[in-house]
Structure 1
Amino acid sequence: MIQITSWFTLSLTALLFFIAIFGRYVLFSLAFWWLFANGKNDQKTRQTIQVRPVKTGQQWREIGWSVLTSLIFTAIASGVMVAYQHGYTKIYTDIHAYGLVWYPVSIGLVLLIHETYYYWLHRWMHRPGVYQWVHKVHHDSLTTSPWTAFSFHPLESTLQALVIPALTFVLPLHSTAVGLILIIMTFSGAINHLNTEIYPHAFDRHWLGRWLIGATHHSLHHSQFRYNFGLYFTFWDKWMDTESPDFHRLFTQKSKKDPV
């Protein structure tokens, strides 16, 4: 890791973080948009979930908000780096320091905590008086695309960015585990906002797939607003009865195999 010893190295570190964060967003969004969401063949068109046209200029607006989101994520990541170098965090670099088993366990634990934080934050952001100031920017994209994944108002970006950095102060996390968690977050965000179902037929009832959020699940949140508040997993929506009653029907329709 870069040793931050001056404002120059702090600025360099921040620049590298921004390149990594915004670059990761662009890489995943561009790849998923090109592969699945640009509607250039009949199969993609049949799997499109929301058929309303994307608003004029929507993707450029989303990219603009995503630049601001990436800057906020960069500022918080830079603060965590400074805290790490002063010994305040529990980030470690020796893979054997906490045992090899802890490595995947720590990643799973962070994802579960993040899911819980986000679910309840998300429901709060839909409250009258909060929604307009915090969450409306994201919902301006009624029909989503991978570019929607980082399109947040700065207030929402800040609230979303707090939980994983906070966990580095209380949970031992290998430096590469932190990086992997952030990659999973961006990867999941791109998939969830595709507006094209890429999971296989009946995956919504599979022992694993029933717990994972995909494009159909999250697209219903953007069209119905009062259902499907999860981030990675469906368990809070199932437990709190906030999963859309239309989900399984729509998933079956959009993931249906071509007739032979």
Structure 2
Amino acid sequence: MAIEPEIGAEAERWHHHPGPVRNNPLFSWPPQPVAVLRWYAAYWLAVSTITITAVFSVAIYFTLLPALETMQTFQAGWMVRVWLANLLPQAICAGGLHMWLYHWRKQGNQTKYDARDLARDNGTYTFGNQVWDNMFWTLVSGVTLWTVAQWAVFWMMANGYAPAMFFPDNPVWFVLMFPFLVIWSSFHFYWVHRLLHVPAIYKHAHALHHRNVNVGPWSGISMHPLEHLLFYTNFAIHLIVPSHPIHILFHGYVQSVHPVFSHSGFDQLVVRDEEKAKMGDFFHQLHHRYFECNYGTVEMPWDKWFGSFHNGSAEATQRTRAFKKQMYTK
């Protein structure tokens, strides 16, 4: 069982921060459909991780991804290009954010959830260093298994074993597939994440990710290989639902690049003392703080519906601690 750390004044300030969790109409009752549509529009159509991943998927498709017909047989040329299509956005986003926030400290602790620095000289982590630990598991296990999953999907699509769809054929579904994949990823993540918190699985796999109580950009997909295997089973949806290669790229970036930002440890990106973009995720920050809550994502209220929602209140903290104690003392 992981132990909750003591947190300082800055972390306490964010612990009681009203944030997107309490203001999100997805978690309101009775339902507010108009407010929910406005929230999605503001979240997905503004400068956000969703728009960033959409831009990456289109740009990589036209500049780096091989033509689908070349993927009918497994050959090093196209397989390396798919690997680079995943490696480059992951390294650019995680590396760039880490340099800005933690190496150059361009915004100090402004909007930081936890005032402590990332861990060094700590035997909990591989190589004794939190950043090196996170980079190793992200790049060696995460990007590798993410790429393997996409190799399989692209090969099956190229050979007619998975349904392929192209933009001129069905432009409406082409567009709707993007929000569908966000919701599907959220649903899949919620249930896989709950499975990973079963004590026996948590101990042998998910505990590696939860070393990161105080998270940083490289923490997003820093996971045990078993967790990565479960995490990337969500690509199986493309064996059922007609998809375009852009959708497969987008799906991978939602799964893997989005967590770079949600695990940044900061609520906002600040440039010249002005908040420029939403970055962190207070909802998921609470999960890393208290473990047995907020298993899903902020895009869908799975936790609210299934009784694992933490809204940042003292009452929710007491309830979560009681549940965690019950789970780990059986």
Structure 1 length as normaliser, TM-score? 0.80
Q: Post-superposition shift, 1:33? A: 2.5
> In the alignment, which residue of structure 2 is the partner of 1:74?
147
In the alignment, structure 1 segments of 5+ residues that lack a partner are: 201-211, 249-260
Q: Post-superposition shift, 1:234? A: 4.4
> In the alignment, which residue of structure 1 is the partner of 2:135?
63
Q: Post-superposition shift, 1:117? A: 1.2
TM-superposition CA deviations, 1:199-254 (whole Å, max 9, x none): 89xxxxxxxxxxx9943221211111011111352411222232223169xxxxxx
**2:145·2:228 contact (CA, 8 Å) conserved in 1?**
yes
> In the alignment, which residue of structure 2 is the partner of 1:157?
228
CA distance in 1: counterparts of 2:114 and 2:313, whole angstroms:
13
Q: Size of the alignment, in residue pairs?
A: 231
**1:50·1:219 contact (CA, 8 Å) conserved in 2?**
no
Q: Post-superposition shift, 1:80? A: 1.6
TM-superposition CA deviations, 1:38-86 (whole Å, max 9, x none): 5725x54131112333221111111111121111112221122221221
What amino acid sits opposite 1:87 in the alignment?
A: G
> In the alignment, which residue of structure 2 is the partner of 1:13?
78
CA distance in 2: counterparts of 1:101 and 1:145, whole angstroms:
37
In the alignment, structure 2 segments of 5+ residues that lack a partner are: 1-66, 121-128, 271-277, 315-330
Note closer, same or farther for the CA distance 1:230–1:44 as it changes in structure 2 (3 Å cut).
Answer: farther
> In the alignment, which residue of structure 2 is the partner of 1:209?
none
**1:192·1:213 contact (CA, 8 Å) conserved in 2?**
yes
> In the alignment, which residue of structure 2 is the partner of 1:235?
301
1:173 equivalent to 2:243? Answer: yes
> In the alignment, which residue of structure 2 is the partner of 1:95?
167
CA distance in 2: counterparts of 1:167 and 1:5, whole angstroms:
20
Q: Post-superposition shift, 1:172? A: 1.0
Q: Post-superposition shift, 1:128? A: 1.1
Note closer, same or farther for the CA distance 1:199–1:236 as it changes in structure 2 (3 Å cut).
Answer: farther
> In the alignment, which residue of structure 2 is the partner of 1:54?
118
Q: Post-superposition shift, 1:27? A: 0.9
1:220 equivalent to 2:286? Answer: yes
> In the alignment, which residue of structure 1 is the partner of 2:311?
245
1:148 equivalent to 2:212? Answer: no
CA distance in 1: counterparts of 2:312 and 2:207, whole angstroms:
23
The SS at the match of 2:117 is: coil
CA distance in 2: counterparts of 1:134 and 1:143, whole angstroms:
19
The SS at the match of 2:200 is: coil
Note closer, same or farther for the CA distance 1:231–1:137 as it changes in structure 2 (3 Å cut).
Answer: same
Structure 2 length as normaliser, TM-score? 0.64
1:193 equivalent to 2:257? Answer: no
> In the alignment, which residue of structure 1 is the partner of 2:186?
115
CA distance in 1: counterparts of 2:265 and 2:208, whole angstroms:
18
What amino acid sits opposite 1:192 in the alignment?
A: S
CA distance in 2: counterparts of 1:29 and 1:242, whole angstroms:
29
**1:24·1:186 contact (CA, 8 Å) conserved in 2?**
no
**2:185·2:255 contact (CA, 8 Å) conserved in 1?**
no
CA distance in 2: counterparts of 1:86 and 1:27, whole angstroms:
32
